[in-house]
Structure 1
Amino acid sequence: MPPRRYNPDTRRDELLERINIDIPGAVAQALREDLGGTVDANNDITAKLFTGKLSLSCHSDHPREWRILRQTLG
């Protein structure tokens, strides 16, 4: 198989364009596989996980910890 020949003047732009197309697609595919469903940009999974983590980590009656939790969650 002959080596590919690239135009050095346009190679960087071509790679950047490909990255901008490939990375979002790969991330969406990974999320679909991990979550077993459709990826919805309006469904903020990270925020739900972050809130759940904070809620689970605050098992204290100490007022300062609850104040920090309330400030963090808004």
Structure 2
Amino acid sequence: MAETKGLGYELIWKFDMPTTINHIMIMEDIQYGELIRKYKVEGKVNGEWRILTEGESVEHKRIQKFDKVEVRGIR
């Protein structure tokens, strides 16, 4: 990862080179309860943001699988 930044409730990861992915793991510390109620993960594909997966409730950990895609970033 070249850069990570948070913008309110948004995190952006930019990759130095195209990276092929087929899943993402989302985790939250549930010490203070489940705070993530809804989420959407987008990948930067051919210069445009495209939805890779979305859902509700992460609990402690959620692994979302999807078809292989080459991305330059994730948000």
Same topology, TM > 0.5? no
User: What interval of TM-score do these two structures reach, taking the shorter chain for normalisation?
Assistant: under 0.3
Structure showing the higher helix proportion among its residues:
1
TM-score where L is the length of structure 2: 0.19
Look at both structures and tell me which one has the larger radius of gyration over its CA atoms.
1
By relative contact order (CA 8 Å, sep 6+), the higher-ranking structure is 2
TM-score where L is the length of structure 1: 0.19
